[in-house]
Amino acid sequence: MNILVFAEQIDGSFKKSAFEAVSYASQIAQAHNGTVTAVVPGNVADDKLAELAKFGANKIVSIKHDNLNGFNAETYAKVICNTATAEGSSIVVISNTYSGKSVAPRVAARLKAGIASGVISMPNTSAGFVVRRGVFSGKAFADVNLTTTVKVLAITPNTFNTLENAQAVNIVNAEAGLADADFTTKSVEINRVTGKIPLTEAEIVISGGRGLKGPENWHLVEDLANALGAATACSKPVSDMHWRPHSEHVGQTGITIKPNLYIAIGISGAIQHLAGVSSSKVIVAINKDAEAPFFKAADYGIVGDAFEIMPKIIEAAKAFKAN
C-alpha cells in the first residue's frame, strides 16, 4: 500500500503542517506495512526536500516548475493526482490548511475517491475505513466511513504531532506535464502577515470580547499575548463592530481553533463562540458576570472587572517570561 502526501511549500520551505501530514502518513504506513511518497509541487532545493524523509517519506517526488511556486488548486490537483496514479497510492493525505482545503476536494473528484476533511484521528480499519472529524463547528464529532478504493484524508493542522522516523533520502524529479493554459488563476499580489503568529497555528490564543468596551483597550489583550508568545483573537460582535479585523474572529462563523491555551477576556461564551474554541486544551474565562456561559466551558475562571484583573496577569506573565 502506498500513501501519498501533498507537502505544500511556501516560498521554497515547508511549514509544520507539511511535516505533520508526512508523520501522519508514516504512521498509517507503519500500521499497514505500506510506503510513503511525498509530492512537492514548486521549486524546492534538495536539502529542504530531504527534511520530509526525516518524518518518514520513503520517496519524495519533486515537481519543479516556476508556475507551480504559487498555489493553484487546479494545477496542484492535477500533479498530485498524476503522482497518485503513478505511485498506485490508495490513500492521499493533505493538511487541511487553506490551500489543502482548496485542493483536497479536487483531488478526490479526479480520483473518484471518498474524502474526509477536518480529520482528527488515525483511520480505524477494524470495520471499514473510519476516521473521526469535527462537525457542527466543534459542537460534535462524526465517525465517517470512506467506502471507495482510493481515499483522501484532509487532516486538521495542529492536531497530530510531528514524529521523526528517518528514511533514506530518495528524491525523484518528475515532469509537471502542464501547459500554460492549465494555469487558470493568476496571482496579482500576496500579503502575508509577518511578525505575528497566525491564529490557526498558535499554541496560545488571547481573545477579547465586548467586555473590553472598545478597541482602545486592546493593549490588555496584546500585552498578555506578547508576554506569552500568543496570537490574538476576538468574538463575533467585536469583529462586526470593526474593533478588530474579521480574520481574528473565532467561533462558528469565524475561525475554529484548538490551541493548548485559550484565554477569553470579556467574552460571555455564546454557543456559537464556544463551538469555535471548545477543542482548546485549557480554557481560561475572565468575565464580570458570574453567570456567563463561558464559566461552564472553562477550566479556570476569574469573576471580576477585566480592567482590574488584566494588569495583574500581564505583570505576572512578564515576570514569568523574564525568568
Considering only residues 264 through 293, tell me which ones interact with another protein, judged by CB under 8 A: 270-272, 278-279, 281-285
CB neighbour list of residue 170: distance below 8 Å, 6 or more residues apart: 53, 58, 59, 60
CA distance linking residue 311 with residue 148, whole number of Å: 56
- Mark the segment that binds another protein (CB under 8 A) among 97-105, 158-166, 206-214, 215-223: 97-105
Residue placing its CB nearer to another protein in the complex, 1 or 142: 142
Residue placing its CB nearer to another protein in the complex, 53 or 108: 108
Amino acid at 159: T
CA distance linking residue 95 with residue 7, whole number of Å: 8
* Region 217-236 residues binding another protein, contact defined as CB under 8 A: 228
CA distance linking residue 219 with residue 181, whole number of Å: 49
228 closest CA partner among 208, 244, 205: 205
Q: How far is the CB of 170 from another protein (least distance, A)?
A: 28
- Mark the segment that binds another protein (CB under 8 A) among 23-31, 33-41, 209-217, 313-321: 313-321
Judged by CB under 8 A, the residue of 108, 220, 221, 235 near another protein is 108
320 lies in the binding site for another protein (CB under 8 A): yes
* Region 121-140 residues binding another protein, contact defined as CB under 8 A: 128, 130, 133-140
The grid cell for 78 is 492535477
DSSP string covering 102-125: HHHHHHHHHHT-EEEEEE-S--B-
* Region 7-66 residues binding another protein, contact defined as CB under 8 A: 10, 15
Q: How far is the CB of 182 from another protein (least distance, A)?
A: 10
Judged by CB under 8 A, the residue of 4, 39, 79, 115 near another protein is 115
β-pair type (231-234, 204-208): parallel
Q: How far is the CB of 61 from another protein (least distance, A)?
A: 21
Residue placing its CB nearer to another protein in the complex, 53 or 298: 298
* Region 238-267 residues binding another protein, contact defined as CB under 8 A: 246-247, 249, 252-254, 256, 260-261
205 lies in the binding site for another protein (CB under 8 A): no
Q: Tell me the three state secondary structure of residue 263.
A: strand
The grid cell for 62 is 519533486
Residue placing its CB nearer to another protein in the complex, 2 or 200: 200
CA distance linking residue 321 with residue 323, whole number of Å: 5
CA distance linking residue 294 with residue 208, whole number of Å: 13
Judged by CB under 8 A, the residue of 50, 64, 67, 105 near another protein is 105
Half-sphere exposure in the Cβ direction for 307 (13 Å, CA): 7
Q: Give the largest Cα separation in the chain, rounded.
A: 63
Residue placing its CB nearer to another protein in the complex, 68 or 77: 77
Q: Tell me the three state secondary structure of residue 87.
A: helix
* Region 144-203 residues binding another protein, contact defined as CB under 8 A: 144-148, 184-193, 198, 200-201
